[in-house]
């Protein structure tokens, strides 16, 4: 972004862990200014430091220490150009719809509207072309400026970045098997009990496998001919196993896949494609866009959460161990920072792309 314009932004669910990550990432943003913070009625009326149990590794930013928390009602956010939603899905649906109806754009981390035909489900380093649906969404819901854009589930986000690179290079993908090892921060706060996760792996995360098997089909699909819906990749089938592991941040995923193209690409060809992949957010010069959307690490034992989750300030997906699969065609390991690119960072970069595309004008 190069306009130099400053945008007032609001954060819904500002006291939760995703809301806290939004604040920590936005505190030094050159064009997005934190203006209003929203949370439940229990927190409303309190200065932010009194309302929050701060869980980020960095201190509460100075810019929010004197901000009084409001309830999540559009009337308190009227001076915001748009809002980021870190709300829990139990309450996000009605609140986000109210903001859309009040002509305040919403960038949501919640699952409620991800699979709605007229709502873009965008991974900002994958499918920003899906912003093309916004005019049709506005017409459908009779709004002038309001819209809802969702980012994906954290594991879906990590998976779709290399899949997009491979799909662009080699055509439609056939079958995908993915096993995740997901960090505890993905469960929010207080999250998983210490008695459940210490010295243990939990081989079940409610709703996660369904998201990982369905969301990529929309993200990797194309806008329909009517301009208001999406065509799923019906030729692609995904099977997922999702596990919670005792890691603070960073989702590790082991992926095996096959291509419709035969002969299938070699590991060397796959690596070349991954290393050369670029996205629109980079070409637009967005502030939060990673220098490299995909980082390929040739080490035999990488990526690893502790060593690689912060690559490109958490906005890159790191891929390693690309090799031939004895059952499908290719297998590899990937790592995504689940609360940055996998959550708040996606919302922020999506908003940067939207600004560059003139969607707030």
* CA 192-238-226 angle, 5° bins: 110
In whole numbers, what is the pLDDT of the chain averaged over residues? 95
Residue 235 near residue 172, CB atoms below 8 Å: yes
**If 0-12 CB within 10 Å is exposed, 13-18 middle and 19+ buried, where does residue 322 land?**
buried
pTM of the predicted model as reported, rounded to 2 decimal places: 0.96
* Contacts for 218 with CB less than 8 Å, ≥ 6 apart: 114, 115, 121, 230, 232
pLDDT, tens only, 277-332? 999 999 999 999 999 999 999 999 999 999 999 999 999 999 999 999 999 999 99
Average pLDDT over residues 42-62: 96
| 154 carries an active-site annotation | yes
- Portion of the chain with pLDDT greater than 70, in percent: 97
Q: State yes or no: is 254 an active-site residue.
A: no
Distance CA 231, CA 224 (A): 6
Indicate if the pLDDT at residue 1 is higher than 70: no
Q: pLDDT band at residue 223, thresholds of 50, 70 and 90?
A: confident
| Statement: residue 2 has pLDDT above 70 | no
Judge whether residue 229 has pLDDT over 80: no
Structure tokens at 163: 């899949």
Annotated catalytic residue: which of 72, 81, 130, 154?
154
Residue 4 has pLDDT above 80, yes or no: no
230 band by pLDDT with thresholds 50, 70 and 90: low
N residues, the chain: 361
* pLDDT value at 234 more than 70: no
Residue 70 Cα distances to 15, 52, 279, 333, angstroms: 11, 13, 37, 42
Catalytic residue of the set 251, 279, 312, 337 = 251
């Amino acid at each position: 972004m190069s306009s130099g314009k400053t945008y007032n932004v609001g954060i819904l669910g500002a006291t939760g862990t995703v809301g806290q990550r939004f604040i920590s990432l936005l505190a030094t943003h050159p064009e997005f200014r934190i203006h209003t913070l929203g949370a439940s009625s229990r927190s409303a009326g309190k200065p932010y430091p009194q309302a929050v149990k701060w869980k980020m590794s960095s201190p509460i930013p100075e810019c929010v220490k004197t901000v009084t928390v409001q309830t999540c009602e559009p009337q308190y956010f009227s001076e915001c150009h748009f809002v980021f939603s870190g709300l829990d899905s139990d309450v996000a649906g009605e609140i986000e719809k109210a903001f859309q109806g009040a002509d305040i754009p919403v960038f949501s981390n919640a699952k409620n509207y991800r699979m709605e035909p007229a709502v873009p489900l965008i991974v900002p380093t994958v499918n920003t072309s899906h912003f093309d649906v916004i005019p049709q969404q506005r017409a459908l819901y009779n709004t002038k400026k309001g819209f809802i854009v969702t980012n994906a589930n954290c594991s879906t986000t990590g998976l779709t970045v290399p899949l997009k690179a491979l799909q662009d290079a080699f055509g439609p993908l056939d079958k995908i098997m993915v096993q995740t090892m997901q960090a505890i921060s993905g469960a929010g706060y207080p999250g998983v009990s210490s008695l459940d996760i210490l010295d243990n792996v939990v081989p079940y995360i409610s709703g996660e496998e369904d998201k990982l098997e369905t969301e990529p089909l929309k993200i990797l699909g194309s806008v329909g001919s009517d301009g208001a819906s999406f065509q799923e990749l019906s030729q692609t089938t995904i099977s997922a196993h999702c596990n919670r592991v005792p890691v603070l941040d960073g989702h590790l995923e082991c992926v095996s896949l096959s291509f419709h193209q035969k002969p299938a690409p070699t590991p060397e060809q796959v690596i070349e494609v991954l290393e050369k992949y670029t996205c629109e957010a980079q070409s637009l010069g967005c502030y939060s866009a990673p220098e490299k959307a995909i980082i390929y690490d040739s080490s035999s034992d990488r990526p690893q959460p502790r060593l690689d989750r912060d690559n490109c300030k958490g906005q890159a997906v790191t891929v390693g161990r690309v090799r031939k699969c004895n059952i499908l065609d290719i297998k590899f390991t990937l790592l995504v920072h689940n609360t940055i690119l996998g959550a708040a960072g996606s919302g922020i970069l999506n908003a940067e792309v939207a600004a560059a595309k003139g969607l707030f004008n």
